[in-house]
Every structure is written in C-alpha cells, then in structure tokens.
C-alpha cells in the first residue's frame, strides 16, 4: 500500500488531537486550531547484504577437480629445500592452493539478496508494476478522480500479473524437484534455513564483561 505526504500529514494531525494539551489544566477541544505542517518523510533504509566470493569446492569431483589435483601435485613435486621455516612453507602452499582453486574451480558470489524473486520477476511483471507506480505518482500530483480510477485498475492488473507468474514459478519448481539431484535439494533446504535466521550476517559484539561473542545464540542471550 502506498502512502502519500497528505495521508501522513492527516495521520500526524489526528495524532495531535489525542495528545494532552501543553497548557496545564486546559484539554484540547474543537476550538483549538491545528496548524498545517509540511513534513519531509525519509525513505526506508534498505540494507544491502554484501556478496562474498566463495570457491566452488563442489567441483572437486568433476573434471575441474582433477585438473586442480594435478596442479597441487605438481606444486608438491617441487624442491622445498630452503631456509624458510615450516610456517612460511605452509603459508606459501596454502596461498598457492587457494590461488589455483580460484582459477581452476571458479568463484561463486552467491545468490542476489533483494526483495524480488528472480523466478517470477520478469519483463511482464516489471512492466505492469512500473505502470502502476507511474499512475500512482500521476494521481498524487493531480488528485483527480479519473487518475485514481486508472491507478486502481493498474494495481489490479499488476497484482494479477504477479500472482500468475508466481503460480507458474511454483509449478516449475515442483517439476524440478521431481528430477532434482541431491545437490539441488540441499541448496533449496539451505536457502529455506537461512531465510528463517534473525541474523543474515555474522555480527561480533562484547558482553558486559568485555568478552567477545561470535555465535548467534550467545548474542541473543546478551
């Protein structure tokens, strides 16, 4: 539901009627005049979850994984006779493995985190929703009854279009689940589990004793 500045101002003024009078001993009555104020409403802050690069370790069982193993064995066949300490040698081996894994196995940035589901958000729904928003702005600027009727019709069309596309997306999902592999089912279960979490990003805070808390369970208790 869209809210206009006029609607917000009416709610603000109506709320002022219910508040007690600033003058002691004198309640608010109909004889008090309400002043019309121009309010500048802030937009809702949208928090963007950063996308983290992750190595596709699931490719180890594929042809890419075989190439990666050969590269690692080739690195281990080199001569390590040097004056470096075991810690430095291990750090070099770790850096070499990570660099080789990124170039051979590939990198995944994870799914997009937004309010629109990619399964049903297509050109059709985008066009109908954009038209609804355009007519809403037009109605707010003009305030005419004709623009209001056009906006309501566009709103019904947008809702119907989104509902149809969602239904088609669900049917496609059910068909895919019948032929899905274990990896695909695991991804769906992981996505559903992550969507129920209160914390989307790992947060670190200190409790009253100054101890660093890293788990969601300890953070919620503090």
Over residues 116-122, mean pLDDT = 71
The answer on pLDDT for 1 being more than 80 is no
Q: Which residue has the higher pLDDT, 150 or 28?
A: 150
Confidence of residue 4 (pLDDT cuts 50, 70, 90): very low
Examine residue 155 and state whether it is found in any structural domain, yes or no: no
Examine residue 78 and state whether it is found in any structural domain, yes or no: yes
The answer on pLDDT for 206 being more than 90 is no
Q: What is the C-alpha separation between 188 and 23, in angstroms, rounded?
A: 61
Over residues 141-155, mean pLDDT = 92
Q: Which residue has the higher pLDDT, 25 or 138?
A: 138
Say if residue 104 is in the same domain as residue 58. Answer: yes
> Poorest-confidence range of 15-19, 31-35, 62-66, 123-127?
15-19
Examine residue 4 and state whether it is found in any structural domain, yes or no: yes
Could you list the residue range(s) of the whole structural domain that residue 33 is in? 1-45
Examine residue 7 and state whether it is found in any structural domain, yes or no: yes
Confidence of residue 23 (pLDDT cuts 50, 70, 90): very low
Q: What is the C-alpha separation between 130 and 166, in angstroms, rounded?
A: 18
Say if residue 40 is in the same domain as residue 71. Answer: no
Q: Which residue has the higher pLDDT, 110 or 200?
A: 110
pLDDT digits (tens, 9 = 90+) for 183-193: 888 887 887 77
Say if residue 61 is in the same domain as residue 39. Answer: no
In this prediction, residue 177 carries a pLDDT of 79
Beta bridge partners, 108, equal 54
Examine residue 145 and state whether it is found in any structural domain, yes or no: no
In this prediction, residue 45 carries a pLDDT of 58
The answer to whether 130 and 161 have CB atoms below 8 angstroms apart is: no
The answer on pLDDT for 132 being more than 90 is yes
- Contact residues for 27 (Cβ-Cβ < 8 A; gap 6+): 20, 21
Examine residue 218 and state whether it is found in any structural domain, yes or no: no
Examine residue 143 and state whether it is found in any structural domain, yes or no: no
43 CB neighbour count, 10 Å cutoff = 5
Burial class (CB in 10 A: 0-12, 13-18, 19+), 162: middle
The answer on pLDDT for 148 being more than 70 is yes
Say if residue 36 is in the same domain as residue 58. Answer: no
Examine residue 89 and state whether it is found in any structural domain, yes or no: yes
Question: How many domains is the chain partitioned into structurally?
Answer: 2
Burial class (CB in 10 A: 0-12, 13-18, 19+), 49: exposed
Say if residue 1 is in the same domain as residue 41. Answer: yes
């Amino acid at each position: 539901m869209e809210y206009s500045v006029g609607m917000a101002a009416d709610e603000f003024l109506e709320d002022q009627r219910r508040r007690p009078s600033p003058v002691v001993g004198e309640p608010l009555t109909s004889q008090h005049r309400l002043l019309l104020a121009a309010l500048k409403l802030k937009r809702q802050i949208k928090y963007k979850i950063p996308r983290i690069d992750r190595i596709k370790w699931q490719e180890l069982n594929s042809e890419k994984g075989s190439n990666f193993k050969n590269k690692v064995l080739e690195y281990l066949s080199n001569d390590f006779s040097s004056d470096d300490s075991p810690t430095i040698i291990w750090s070099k081996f770790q850096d070499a493995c990570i660099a080789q894994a990124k170039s051979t196995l590939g990198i995944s940035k994870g799914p997009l985190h937004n309010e629109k589901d990619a399964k049903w958000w297509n050109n059709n729904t985008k066009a109908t929703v954009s038209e609804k928003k355009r007519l809403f702005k037009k109605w707010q600027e003009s305030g005419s009854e004709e623009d209001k009727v056009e906006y309501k019709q566009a709103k019904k069309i947008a809702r119907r279009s989104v509902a149809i596309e969602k239904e088609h997306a669900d049917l496609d999902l059910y068909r895919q689940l019948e032929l899905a592999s274990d990896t695909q089912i695991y991804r769906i279960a992981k996505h559903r589990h992550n969507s129920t979490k209160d914390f989307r990003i790992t947060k670190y805070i200190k409790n009253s004793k100054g101890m660093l808390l890293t788990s969601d369970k300890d953070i919620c208790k503090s």
